[in-house]
Amino acid sequence: MILRGWDRPDSITRDDLQGDRFDMQGINWEKLDTTRAKARVARLRLCSKKTNTQRATTLPNSENYFRFGKMNTTHRALISHFQLRNLISCTSRNDIYYASKTSTATKVIHTDASGRSVSCAMDLTSACGDSLNSFGFSITALTASEDVLIAGGFNGEYALTHLSSTFNTPPTAGFVTHEHNGIQNHIHTFSSRSSGKPQGVFCSNDRRLRVLDCDTNQFTYDFAYEQAINCSATSPDGRMRVIVGDFNETLITNAEAGVTFERLRTHTDHVFACAWADDGIHLATGAQDSRIVIWDARRWDHPLITIESEMACPRSLCFSPVGGGKRVLFAAEAQDFVNVIDAVTFDKRQVLDFYGEIGGMTVTPDGSSLFVANCDSKFGGIMEFERVGYGEQHGLTGDMWRHHPNVRVRRDEPWEWVPEHELDDHPLVILPAKARRRRGLGLGDFVI
């Protein structure tokens, strides 16, 4: 079947879906003389996971936390390195940023959930005039927070722009390192404990982790480790940091001194993803051994659970934000699957299933939408999955209740990352109490 002339609309919505005639990516499986289900079985046979003797739990695909909302087919993130998949970030549904490169330009593109609004957030085509950069800026890592947008490059470059700056203000650009193996593998931001100002954390292939004060554009910390650093995450209070890289261990360090005080030994291959939840207690790591490991920061002697991925190794992890509804962990694999894991019990999940290399994922700060950069050359685009189940009362449907002979009692399981009465005063919670209660009621569908 020749796909060259197979045109897709600029956007695909839930109302457009017609089963195997037109799926969420615009694929007509009937035209291909097969079904989506048969194609998935064949794909799973071809893409067998790495053999692993480590015990892991296969979670049932039984939940429904998100549903397909929309796919914008004209937006395509570009993967510069096959192992680095953090190339999309958002600060709201109206502000989505992703890495783009053509034969003549390297840019960070800004769009919104509709896909119709398009602008250049950072033009990096000639951002770093340096002999090491003769092939141009190739974006390998990207992150956006409320304050700043930061990109890292293949040759040790970085560029940042303050999102409150005037439109068309050129980015601040420079080099994290001039080492020949200075690829920027991952970037994340956190707020300084002393000043509250945004800090950028750069994980580099030259075995170093560096912290940049985004206001002064000065590197304030530079920590050396034994091997390449692939990813890191700072605890919400800014005191600890989890670091993973081209080694099997997970390092728990003092965020301000860089000193390792715990070495967690659970993976059997290099680790490329980690995340720390907003409760400051739960953290997760994902490695090339196709395992996702969940930890409780109150005890490091044993993980809470080791979870097996669906098909490929997990390349990107993030927890749902505080105030975003029932807590979940997102685990994006290298291809085809995003696992949405119940982060209350860690015993079940929803598997978001599509086709294509995944260039990254990002969750809106209010937890309402998940955006996935599908980088397939023919059927890729930016996919939006919308949160569902907001209207369900805590524990009303199913396993959050337990039965005694004479009374039905709700288990004391935390639904959110903090108790309900603390949400209104939490600095990271976006929506007020009334807005949180009204989510999921579908009021936008009423016609008066």
Range of the domain at 33: 11-45
In-domain check, residue 433: no
pLDDT at 409 over 50: no
Q: Answer yes or no: is 329 within a domain.
A: yes
Instruction: Tell me, yes or no, whether 32 and 173 share the same domain.
Output: no
pLDDT band at 136 (very low <50, low <70, confident <90, very high): confident
5 pLDDT tier (thresholds 50, 70, 90): low
Q: Is the pLDDT score of 138 beyond 80?
A: yes
> How many whole angstroms separate alpha carbon 99 and alpha carbon 113?
16
Mean pLDDT (whole number) for 187-201: 94
pLDDT of residue 396: 37
First to last CA, the chain: 48
Whole-number Å distance between alpha carbons of 400 and 63: 14
Q: Which residue has the higher pLDDT, 2 or 337?
A: 337
Q: How many domains does the chain have?
A: 2
pLDDT of residue 390: 66
Phi first, then psi: give them for residue 45, nearest 5 degrees: -65, -40
User: Which is nearest to 273 in space by CA: 339, 325, 213, 322?
Assistant: 339
Residues 221 and 312 in one domain: yes
pLDDT band at 54 (very low <50, low <70, confident <90, very high): confident
Residues 15 and 107 in one domain: no
> In terms of C-beta density within 10 A (0-12 exposed, 13-18 middle, 19 or more buried), how is residue 147 classed?
middle
CA–CA distance, 95 with 116 (Å, rounded to integer)? 12
Q: What is the pLDDT of residue 441?
A: 60
Per-residue pLDDT at 331 exceeds 70 = yes
Q: Counting every residue, how long is the chain?
A: 448
pLDDT at 117 over 80: yes
* Integer Cα distance of 174 and 32 in angstroms: 49
Domain shared by 23 and 120, yes or no: no
Residue type, 248: N
In a domain, 332, yes or no: yes
**194 vs 86, which has greater pLDDT?**
86
Is residue 70 predicted with pLDDT exceeding 50? yes
Examine the domain organization and report whether 20 and 150 are in the same domain: no
Mean pLDDT along residues 213-240? 97
DSSP 230-259: EEEEE-TTSSEEEEEESEEEEEEEETTT--
How crowded is the C-beta side of 247, counted as CA atoms within 13 Å?
15
- 353 assigned to some structural domain: yes
CATH number of the CATH domain containing 83 = 2.130.10.10
- Of all residues in the chain, what percent carry a pLDDT higher than 70? 88
Q: Strand 381-387 and strand 369-374: pairing?
A: antiparallel
Question: 397 pLDDT exceeds 70?
Answer: no
Q: What is the pLDDT of residues 256-267, one digit of tens each?
A: 999 999 999 999
- Whether the per-residue pLDDT at 34 is higher than 70: the answer is yes
Last residue of a domain, one of 336, 370, 387: 387
Contacts of 2 (CB under 8 A, 6+ apart): none
Q: For residues 288 and 399, which has the higher predicted lDDT (pLDDT)? A: 288
Q: What is the mean pLDDT of residues 295-309?
A: 96
Give residue 435's pLDDT band: very low, low, confident or very high (50, 70, 90).
Answer: confident
- Shared-domain flag, residues 17 and 157: no
Residue carrying structure tokens 């549903």: 67
Integer CA distances (angstroms), 420 to 12, 168, 279, 343, 393, in order: 36, 42, 13, 16, 13
Q: By the 8 A CB rule, do 289 and 262 touch?
A: no
Assign residue 336 a region: left if phi > 0, alpha if psi is -120 to 50, beta otherwise? left
Judged against a pLDDT cut of 90, whether residue 128 lies above it is answered with: no
Is 129 inside any structural domain? yes
- Say what the pLDDT of residue 404 is: 39
Task: Tell me: do 218 and 347 sit in the same domain.
Answer: yes
Report yes or no: 69 and 13 within 8 Å, Cβ to Cβ: yes
Q: Do 170 and 236 sit in the same domain of this protein? A: yes
Q: In this structure, are residues 309 and 292 in contact, taking their beta carbons and an 8 Å threshold?
A: yes
Asked, for residue 272, whether it belongs to a domain, the answer is yes
Which of 185-194, 371-380, 427-436 is predicted least confidently? 427-436
**25 and 111, same domain (yes or no):** no
Task: Say yes or no to pLDDT of 17 above 50.
Answer: yes
My answer on whether 39 and 134 are in the same domain is no
Return the minimum-mean-pLDDT range out of 309-313, 317-321, 371-375.
309-313
Average pLDDT on 247-260 reads 97
Residue 405 maps to a domain: no
Answer yes or no: is 400 within a domain.
Answer: no
State whether 129 and 34 are in the same domain: no
Q: What mean pLDDT value characterizes the chain? A: 89
- Letter string b/e over residues 19-30, b meaning 16 or more CB atoms within 10 A of that residue's CB: ebebbbbbbebe
- Is the domain of 17 the same as that of 93? no
- The domain boundary, picked from 346, 364, 387, lies at 387
- Euclidean distance between CA atoms 13 and 115, whole angstroms: 12
Instruction: Give the least confident one: 21-35, 115-129, 152-166.
Output: 115-129
Instruction: Give percent of the chain above pLDDT 90.
Output: 74
Residue indicated by tokens 């939940």? 63
